[in-house]
C-alpha cells in the first residue's frame, strides 16, 4: 500500500490479493472499465474508493474530486503538464 496525501493506493498485486483474483484479472477489469484505477508513474493503482465502488457494482466513480485534485497536483509536480 502506498499513501499519497492521505489517499491509500493499492497496486495491482495488492488489489488482486484483496479480491482473490489474479493480477491479470484486475488489469482486465481496469481495461474493460469494470474497475477504475489510476496510472501513476507507469504503475496502476487503485484507491480504497475504487475497490469499494467495484465491490458495490459502481465502477464509474473513480476518485473523489478531492482525491483527483491531489493526484493531479502530484502528477503535475512530478511529470509536468
Domains of the chain and CATH, by start: 2-61 (1.10.1660)
**CA dist., res. 16 & res. 80, Å (int):** 31
The answer to whether the Cα torsion of 39, 53, 11, 76 is positive or negative is positive
Name which of 66, 79, 53 is nearest 7 in CA terms. Answer: 66
Q: What is the mean pLDDT of the chain?
A: 86
- Please report the pLDDT score of residue 19 as a whole number: 95
Among 17-21, 61-65, 73-77, which range has the highest average pLDDT? 17-21
**% residues pLDDT > 90 (the chain):** 41
Identify which has the larger pLDDT, 54 or 63.
Answer: 54
Identify which has the larger pLDDT, 59 or 72.
Answer: 72
Name which of 73, 81, 76, 46 is nearest 62 in CA terms. Answer: 46
pLDDT above 90: residue 65: no
Amino acid at each position: 500500500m502506498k499513501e499519497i496525501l492521505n489517499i491509500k493506493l493499492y497496486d495491482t498485486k495488492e488489489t488482486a490479493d484483496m479480491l482473490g483474483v489474479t493480477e491479470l484479472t484486475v488489469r482486465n477489469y481496469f481495461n474493460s472499465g469494470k474497475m477504475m484505477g489510476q496510472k501513476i508513474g507507469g504503475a496502476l493503482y487503485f484507491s480504497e474508493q475504487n475497490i469499494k465502488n467495484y465491490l458495490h457494482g459502481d465502477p464509474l466513480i473513480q476518485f473523489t474530486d478531492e482525491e483527483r485534485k491531489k493526484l493531479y497536483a502530484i502528477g503535475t509536480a512530478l511529470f509536468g503538464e
